[in-house]
Structure 1
């Protein structure tokens, strides 16, 4: 029987690093953020819907979606973020579920920061939450995305509070130490505590 892990955590917590470790352990990782980017490529359903809803000012001269400009806009205005999510979430959910069904791996990981908000938590057998301190998350977001502290802070504020995510979590990985410590936690839960 296929095991499905729902992997979540706020931006900058280290979720992508955990996903990489799980991939190394043989799991198939379905990255909801990557799918969201793919469906917003020119000509795709998300691209067309976002252009219709938000207008051409969020698109570059070459026609591509200006993700930084749209991100700055929606993360500063909760209503606009909800509007964007209402457009993209159903498309992302459909593709995540298709890939999960078609996977030939024993373990599938749904990597999604908005796992609970988007309704994908219902597709998981167990939910893994990656946590880190706010200062660490802010610094990781800033260095990863090349954005200022205000934009990074808005991104964090727009996501579910960790206390809310904790209520759904079966496994909590604390990423405030070394990468080796994080890897050890991943292996322990992958093989041990929730045993395969």
Structure 2
């Protein structure tokens, strides 16, 4: 099965790109979805997180309070390393299982931390959704109603634009917006169909 890793910084349009590939009938595995699945109530990871950080990381429903956990680990590299050590192997397993269930000509792994997390090892090519950082900040602020300072912190925790582009096999330029992005995806889809042929 030919696999493409789709990545990009916050506000780059990665989710929109993944949506267009889905419309073309391509199986897309969302790494963020896998990250949510592994911490669902009843899963061992959630219990370990609650034991490690305390019950205040759980909502009344018993689900993980993601915002609370993010606040605890964001500026604490030791705690973040502990959490990543627990979750990354589980997320990877979930992604592999979902990729293996694909019946489309090729599959896409959509992941904001494709390269940083080592998930790029699961794919044959890396496709980066790219745009200037000023535009990234503007679009992410408008979409998430996050403070620009918070978005800058998230951007700083991700690979730099240059590092991402250096790893890219294919680049989708999202500077001009979604109509232009869609036409680039249609062209790339044809290329991937050719590459996926046995």
| Structure 2: distance between partners of 1:39 and 1:28 | 20
- Specify the alignment match of 1:169 in structure 2: 168
| Structure 2: distance between partners of 1:91 and 1:133 | 33
TM-score by length of 2: 0.89
- Specify the alignment match of 1:99 in structure 2: 98
- Specify the alignment match of 1:33 in structure 2: 32
SS of the counterpart of 1:167? helix
SS of the counterpart of 1:118? coil
Which 5+ residue runs of structure 1 have no aligned equivalent?
none
The reply on whether 1:46 has 2:83 as its aligned counterpart is no
The reply on whether 1:183 has 2:182 as its aligned counterpart is yes
| Structure 2: distance between partners of 1:193 and 1:35 | 24
Cα displacement (A) at 1:53 = 2.5
Check conservation: 1:9, 1:15, Cα contact below 8 A: yes
Which 5+ residue runs of structure 2 have no aligned equivalent?
none
> RMSD over aligned Cα, in angstroms?
1.9
Higher mean C-alpha deviation, range 60-69 or range 156-165: 60-69
| Structure 2: distance between partners of 1:178 and 1:144 | 14
Cα displacement (A) at 1:50 = 2.0
- Specify the alignment match of 1:140 in structure 2: 139
Check conservation: 1:7, 1:110, Cα contact below 8 A: yes
Which portions of structure 1, spanning 4 or more consecutive aligned residues, are displaced by more than 6 angstroms?
none
Higher mean C-alpha deviation, range 2-11 or range 72-81: 72-81
Check conservation: 1:75, 1:154, Cα contact below 8 A: no
Cα displacement (A) at 1:194 = 7.6
- Specify the alignment match of 2:110 in structure 1: 111
Check conservation: 1:13, 1:175, Cα contact below 8 A: yes
Q: Assess, with a 3 A threshold, how the Cα gap between structure 1 residues 194 and 106 changes in structure 2: closer, same or farther.
A: closer
| Structure 1: distance between partners of 2:57 and 2:107 | 34
| Structure 2: distance between partners of 1:193 and 1:65 | 38
Higher mean C-alpha deviation, range 52-61 or range 162-171: 52-61
Q: Assess, with a 3 A threshold, how the Cα gap between structure 1 residues 75 and 153 changes in structure 2: closer, same or farther.
A: farther
Check conservation: 1:76, 1:154, Cα contact below 8 A: no
Check conservation: 1:26, 1:107, Cα contact below 8 A: no
- Specify the alignment match of 2:153 in structure 1: 154
Cα displacement (A) at 1:28 = 0.2
Count of residues paired in the alignment: 195
